[in-house]
């Protein structure tokens, strides 16, 4: 069993060479923003999951490096275009691409990144290409649908927990599920194991996003790596806000509404007040419970995989670290 | 031999059903702008060329309808995003997508359109998918590169004819060439005929764009369907402008520079003055000659195709209509 860390190290090393190649391709003004957005970092969770899933069924997961790069490119393309749409200025501690290179560059370089991910897929073994392309393109469309729902939720008065879960399933979870299944497909895994890995990815992806939302409110600024309370300031309809509106008493609900309607407020004061309501209304506990529920369902899928139990260690560790993570 | 018109009619009929399906898919706000941009029209040149190329090697070109839709979707995606980048408000006589639905919708719906074209390709016969996806994704990247050069030319002081031709090869010609080759590949044509059709498409695509540039200056407003002199007003470095700067005398050159530097001018006056320089300097004649040259090279490739000469009639007609077209 190759550890996640080893896969990550070997992926990152080869990926950095890839980024250098991209950076020096002509026209440089098209490719430089792509290299910039990739080299800034990120946890590389998706390519590592792809390579790990492949390693469960073959000794040579590194053969699938192009597909792993494809997934990472596609993920970063979505961040790049999302940042334009959300008017987000900072990504991973540095200027977002549209701020650094201008909006036109961000649109066009993003387009190229998305297409490059499909060109990388064309390097897959021809016999596997049909299933890989079907899965990847379907997933990619779903991610767009998720972003659409996310934008629509900003304008909607009310969003249910079910609608929220469906949104994060599309926007976040399907690409994690796709990473795992693509690795398994490429390594020639049987249909049932492919399906189970996909479902594990979907469930753990939802848990991952719920945890992200929770950390945005209760995380530690230093370890979480981004501003705490950002979602509260922007009135984002996360699981916490929706739960608080559903579970809170009349006073809690009207207090939240009051805060969300204020255009002029002291950030620290708003974050502290809303956080207190999230805690007192039980929204925090409910979100943690929901997260645990998705985590447990994911582990259940993992248990059903017909591979050696010792081979499940890394994914179990990944799932449990996720629940206890601080960043 | 099925005529272009018949292929166009049968494509359009099925395509309208496809558009209706897209229009009613959820989330509607993601898919409606896509349907809008497709239903506005266009000449459907690329899907017809794909189906026609296929019909040269099979009796059942309609089998490849999904790939024809993929090409048309990809082409319209590029127009949609180009219109955002160029701040173009009108497309085919109606509001551009970013004006009608907002810029975020135009970005996201465009992204989805691009990906949908790859999802449609996944419906190709698995055994042909590798060559189809390699060609299509490479072409799609080239189109982005062409748009990048086009944007860069706006900022550059000087552009050569060779650089301009390379830009329109990437931005326009490769997708026309790809349409023809994709049809041939799908229908199982041999490598040599695939190559010749691709080269025919490339050369005729360049001739097509040169004609488009010429018509933008010398066309008839009513038949050309868009404003005459638009490129002149925007100082676009087309073959005409570049030729005039290369071939014109000192007076012609300084007059053009003077007009391009004016920010406040009477449109009609500028168009007439610059058009006169294009004519007198020989730039118009040179552009027409270059166009004829690419057309003749294209016909040469067509002649080399190892199919019945009678089967070449439609492509010959297409090439000659292109040279005499008024819109």
Task: Please report the pLDDT score of residue B225 as a whole number.
Answer: 61
DSSP reduced 3-state for A5: helix
Q: If you average pLDDT over residues A311-320, what whole number do you get?
A: 96
pLDDT for B150 beyond 70 = yes
What is the distance between the alpha carbons of residues A48 and A38, in angstroms, rounded to a whole number?
15
Please answer yes or no on whether B119 and A134 come within 8 Å at the CB atom. Answer: yes
Query: Where are the domains positioned within chain A?
Result: 1-188, 190-327
A108 burial level (CB within 10 Å; 0-12, 13-18, 19+): buried
DSSP assignment of B273-324: HHHHHHHHTTHHHHHHHHHHHHHHHHHHHHHHSSS-GGGGHHHHHHHHHHHH
State the average pLDDT for chain A.
Answer: 95
Q: What angle separates helix B45-55 from helix B174-186, to the nearest 10 degrees?
A: 30
The token pair that represents A132 in the structure block: 């890989």
CATH number of the domain at B190-327, out of 1.10.600.10, 3.40.50.10070, 3.30.750.24, 3.20.20.80? 1.10.600.10
pLDDT score at A224: 63
CATH code 1.10.600.10 for B12-188: yes
**A149 Cβ under 8 Å from any chain B Cβ:** yes
- Model pTM score: 0.96
B12-188 against B190-327: fold identical:
yes
In the predicted structure, residue B290 carries a pLDDT above the cut 70: yes
Largest Cα separation within chain B, whole Å, is 61
CB contact under 8 A, A130 and B129: yes
- pLDDT band, residue A242 (cuts 50/70/90): very high
B27 contacts in A (CB within 8 Å)? 145, 148-149, 152
Residue A109 to residue A115: CA distance in whole angstroms: 10
Interatomic CA distance for residues A259 and A246, integer angstroms: 16
Q: Around Cβ A8, how many Cβ atoms within 10 Å? A: 18
Cα–Cα distances in Å, from B108 out to A248, B135, B180?
35, 25, 29
Q: Would the CB atoms of B133 and A121 count as touching at under 8 Å?
A: yes
Cβ(B34)–Cβ(B21) under 8 Å? no
* Cα–Cα distance list, A325 to A218, A223, A224, B182 (Å): 12, 9, 9, 49
Distance (Å, rounded) from C-alpha A165 to C-alpha A169?
6
Mean pLDDT, rounded, for A205-221: 92
Residue B293 has pLDDT above 70, yes or no: yes
| For residue A119, pLDDT beyond 90 | yes
Q: How many residues would you count in chain B?
A: 327
pLDDT digits (tens, 9 = 90+) for B227-268: 789 899 999 999 999 999 999 999 999 999 999 999 899 999
| Å between A67 CA and nearest CA of chain B | 14
Task: Give how far A30 is from chain B: nearest CA, Å.
Answer: 6
Residue numbers in A near B185 (CB within 8 A): none
pLDDT at A267: 92
Q: Is A306 helix (H, G, I), strand (E, B) or coil?
A: coil
Check CB contact under 8 Å for A30 and B144.
Answer: yes
pLDDT confidence tier of residue A228, bands split at 50, 70 and 90:
confident
Residues A23 and A36: their CA atoms lie apart, in Å, by 8
Q: Which tens digits make up the pLDDT trace of A133-150?
A: 999 999 999 999 999 999
Q: What is the DSSP letter of B57?
A: T
- Residue in chain B closest to A30 (alpha carbons) equals B148
Q: How confident is the model at residue A60 (pLDDT cuts 50, 70, 90)?
A: very high
Comparing CB atoms, the residue among A116, A126, A129 nearest residue B141 is A116
Closest residue of chain A to B128, computed from CA coordinates: A126
Q: Which residues have a Cβ under 8 Å from the Cβ of B274 and sit 6 or more positions away?
A: B232, B256, B259
Q: What are phi and psi of A90, to 5 degrees?
A: -120, 135
Residue range B155-182, pLDDT digits in tens:
998 999 999 999 999 999 999 999 999 9
What pLDDT was estimated at residue A77?
A: 98
In the predicted structure, residue A327 carries a pLDDT above the cut 60: no
Instruction: Place A315 in a pLDDT band, splitting at 50, 70 and 90.
Output: very high
CATH number of A1-188: 1.10.600.10
CA distance A176 to A204: 8
Whether the CB-CB separation of B81 and B110 falls below 8 Å is answered with yes
CB-CB under 8 Å, B81 with A144: no
**Mean pLDDT in residue range B68-95:** 95
The DSSP code for B122 is: T
């Amino acid at each position: 069993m190759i550890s996640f860390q080893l896969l990550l190290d070997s992926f990152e090393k080869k990926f950095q060479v890839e980024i250098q190649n991209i950076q020096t391709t002509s026209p440089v003004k098209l490719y430089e923003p792509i290299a910039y957005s990739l080299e800034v970092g990120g946890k590389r969770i998706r390519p590592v999951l792809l390579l790990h899933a492949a390693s469960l069924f073959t000794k040579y997961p590194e053969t699938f490096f192009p597909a792993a790069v494809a997934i990472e490119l596609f993920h970063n393309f979505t961040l790049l275009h999302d940042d334009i749409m959300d008017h987000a200025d900072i990504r991973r501690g540095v200027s977002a691409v549209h701020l650094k290179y201008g909006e036109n560059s961000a649109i066009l370089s993003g387009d190229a990144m998305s297409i490059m991910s499909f060109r990388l897929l064309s390097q897959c073994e021809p016999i596997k290409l049909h299933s890989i392309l079907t899965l990847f393109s379907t997933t990619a469309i779903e991610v767009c649908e998720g972003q659409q729902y996310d934008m629509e939720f900003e304008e909607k008065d009310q969003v249910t927990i079910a609608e929220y879960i469906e949104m994060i399933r599309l926007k976040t979870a399907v690409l994690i599920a796709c990473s795992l299944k693509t690795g398994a497909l490429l390594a020639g895994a049987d249909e049932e194991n492919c399906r189970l890995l996909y479902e594990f990815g979907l469930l753990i992806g939802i848990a991952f996003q719920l945890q992200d939302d929770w950390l945005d409110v209760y995380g530690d600024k230093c370890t979480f790596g981004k501003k705490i309370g950002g979602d509260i300031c922007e009135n984002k309809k996360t699981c916490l806000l929706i739960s608080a509106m559903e579970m809170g008493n009349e006073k809690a609900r009207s207090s939240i509404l009051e805060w969300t309607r204020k255009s002029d407020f002291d950030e620290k004061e708003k974050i502290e007040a809303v956080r207190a309501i999230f805690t007192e209304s039980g929204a925090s506990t409910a979100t943690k419970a929901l997260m645990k529920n998705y985590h447990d369902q994911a582990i259940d899928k993992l248990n059903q995989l017909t591979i050696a139990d010792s081979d499940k260690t890394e994914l179990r560790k990944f799932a449990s670290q996720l629940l206890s993570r601080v960043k």
